[in-house]
Amino acid sequence: MNRVQSDRTILITGATGQVAFPIARDLAARNRVLALGRFRREEDRARIEAIGAEPLVADLVDGDLAVIPDGVDAVLHFAVARSGKPDFDGDLAMNAEGAGRLMARCRKARAFLHCSTAGVYQPEGGVPRVEGAPLGDHHRVMMPTYSLAKIAAEAVVRFAARQWSLPTTIARLGVPYGDQGGWPWYHLMMMQSGVPIPLHPSGPNRFPLLHEDDYVAQIEGLLAIASVPATIVNWAGSEDTDIESWCRHLGELTHLEPKFEASETALEPLPLDVSRLEERVGAARVPWREGLLRMVRARNPELLEGHGAG
């Protein structure tokens, strides 16, 4: 799907996170990978070193980014602040100003990938969002600052791409999941504990899943379409699905019964149109039912019924 490249110097922020870690692990097998972060926990540093990547210690907001060496070929920016508190100053500083400082330091890179979120869109009754759809405050019911801070970050990234002629891709990520966990795994844990899963009354609660095998495989393509001005693309799976369906499937795999609860404070359905992604990068290949089975097999094999743990 996308040509595999090697022998580059690649800087990754947020490399210990759910999405970036398997990407860093994959790239480190054939490139020099630098993982930039605060590394306040020794286990995080050890985890990065164990995959063959090099930790670089710095804070994006006010740290000395001179620790980033010259000659970085590509930057993958996954670091994010989502405090869950109404700390707009802090979250804007991390998400928006941090992105700008990083791009200023790495302005000579050949490509910059900024991981944004589908949460920047304004929902419209379950209509799939295209890249030019109106933006909004989708995540406020859960994280007061998140959508607005990510919109601000996109604006800074768009400016920086033009200002320094830095080829850039802004990828608006849907719902990532896999061996590292993800939203469906949290739902599985709620099912195991008998906790009701909140659903927005305007369901079906459609959200596009993207398995980690697919988002790892699509990185090269996302870097390849980086441009000035920045390319914006929805980053999600090719199959349509919803919370109700994936929870019921998890129930079939584990014999745990999902309990649903209508709630106006649940996230509104937010399906994505991935036509641009499929045309320019390629379609996702892991069917969501297969991906969920693999997730449970990797994280909670004891819950599987009749599907085997191996």
For residue 237, give the 3-state DSSP assignment: coil
Q: Pick from 139, 209, 174, 192: which is nearest to 300 by CA?
A: 192
Looking at residue 84, what is its pLDDT?
A: 65
Q: What Rg do the C-alpha atoms of the chain give, in angstroms? A: 19
pLDDT in tens, 247-282: 999 999 999 999 999 999 999 999 999 999 999 999
Is residue 88 within 8 A of residue 148, CB to CB? The reply is yes
pLDDT bin (cut points 50, 70, 90) of residue 6 is confident
Looking at residue 229, what is its pLDDT?
A: 98
The domain segmentation of the chain, as residue ranges, is 9-181+209-238+268-286
CATH superfamily of 9-181+209-238+268-286: NAD(P)-binding Rossmann-like Domain (3.40.50.720)
Res 3 pLDDT > 70:
no
Res 238 pLDDT > 60:
yes
Res 134 pLDDT > 80:
yes
Q: Could you tell me which residues come within 8 angstroms of residue 195 by beta carbon, excluding any fewer than 6 positions away?
A: 259
27 burial (CB, 10 Å; 0-12 / 13-18 / 19+) is buried
Q: pTM (2 decimals)? A: 0.95
Q: Length of the chain, please? A: 310
CB atoms within 10 A of CB 271: 22
Looking at residue 309, what is its pLDDT?
A: 53
When the pLDDT of each residue in the chain is averaged and rounded to a whole number, the result is 95
Looking at residue 218, what is its pLDDT?
A: 98
